[in-house]
Homo-oligomer: A and B are copies of this chain.
């Protein structure tokens, strides 16, 4: 393998694939990035077995020659050092040549690097994914759907399936669900032209979705998603992102979502968020994060928390609308804040069926997302 390549293009590809590198891998070859060179260009691959990312650098784009290929070939280079050194090379043009025993020579300006390479034959082969279950959606929509659900996943490894986000697609509706048994987040989106595609129980690790989000550009990019038996493939421009589907059956969450309610409040999202945040500051000192909310006789609601060591916080907040019975309820304010942070709507609806029933939160101008928080059983 012998090439000369542009630094900024190589660097961008390295940044993409390096998101699949785990610092804790016990398999030496997986701490490397694989380079495959042919006359079309260079393909970089990295994998931690759960995630694999592949990025293709074409030899030429419409504007310029990016890679000059003198000799095709492959090598695996130590990721950590490779990632850091390429960024810091002194010139835009980089020469790379693989010699005996995969010793790799990199030259840029007056800098010469000799890197211990590994045998590319040892690198795991990426899964081949049959492409019959394919949907496309805009990158920013996908990023939003991830952001608005992934915070509700479980972080406990005792229930691995709950560390992922459930994806269902049926009747042109893609739906994400996440729950840690104390709270739940759902977000749906209408997709067009997916009548023939249907899947359920596709569960993707939250960690993986966060890495995927970082790779999706902010500009309007279309992401192609291919769902196979135990793998999902995301195609973003010239990047292929493979993820394992988590094993197991995702629990049925429909039963914990109340279908009726006795109290309905409409509130200003920002004001509620700031108010809960102040009560949270005190509640977190007690480790429980318990905050109380109660309707007041003269209208409005009271938000309060207390700590035996520090004192009390009490707030009054106006209601935009109020329907149904008065109530007094306690909940984990951290869970409520997590929801309030990602709601983009200026107003939100909170619905209750009783002191011990799940609390429902919905943005006013968006019927596609819903959040549920289980209340605390408190003595007073």
Contact = CB atoms under 8 A, between A and B. Distances in A.
A24 to B, nearest CB: 17
Nearest to A109: B315
Given A88-B274, A88-B278, A274-B90, A81 B285 contact: yes
Nearest to A316: B110
Interface string A84-111: 1100111000000000000110000011
B113 A311 contact: yes
Given A88-B281, A281-B85, A310 B78 contact: yes
Given A110-B315, A110-B317, A310 B81 contact: yes
A116 B311 contact: yes
A88 B277 contact: yes
Contact of A278 (B111, B115, B310): B111
Contacts of A312: 113-114
Nearest to A28: B309
A274 B110 CA distance: 12
Nearest to A314: B112
Nearest to A78: B310
Contact of A81 (B89, B104, B110, B282): B282
Interface string A152-164: 0000000000000
A350 interface: no
A84 B281 contact: yes
A43 to B, nearest CB: 23
A137 interface: no
B313 A111 contact: yes
A115 B310 contact: yes
Nearest to A309: B116
Which label, helix, strand, loop or mixed, suits the secondary structure of the A interface?
mixed
A289 to B, nearest CB: 14
Interface in A221-271: none
Contacts of A81: 281-282, 285, 310-311
Contacts of A281: 81, 84-85, 88
B274 A313 contact: no
Given A81-B281, A88-B277, A278-B88, A311 B111 contact: no
Contacts of A315: 110-112
* Interface-central residue, A78, A103, A285, A313, by most chain B CB under 10 Å: A313
Contacts of A285: 81
Given A88-B278, A278-B85, A113 B313 contact: yes
Contacts of A278: 85, 88-89, 111, 113
A111 B85 CA distance: 53
Contacts of A89: 278
Interface string A291-328: 00000000000000000011111111100000000000
A106 to B, nearest CB: 9
Contacts of A111: 275, 278, 313-315
Interface string A47-80: 0000000000000000000000000000000100
A313 B112 contact: yes
- The 3 A-B residue pairs whose C-beta atoms are closest, nearest first, are A115-B311, A114-B312, A110-B316
Given A85-B278, A114-B314, 6 more contacts: A81-B282, A81-B285, A111-B275, A112-B314, A113-B311, A114-B313
Interface of A: 78, 81, 84-85, 88-90, 103-104, 110-116, 274-275, 277-278, 281-282, 285, 309-317
6 contacts: A81-B285, A81-B310, A89-B278, A111-B278, A112-B315, A113-B314
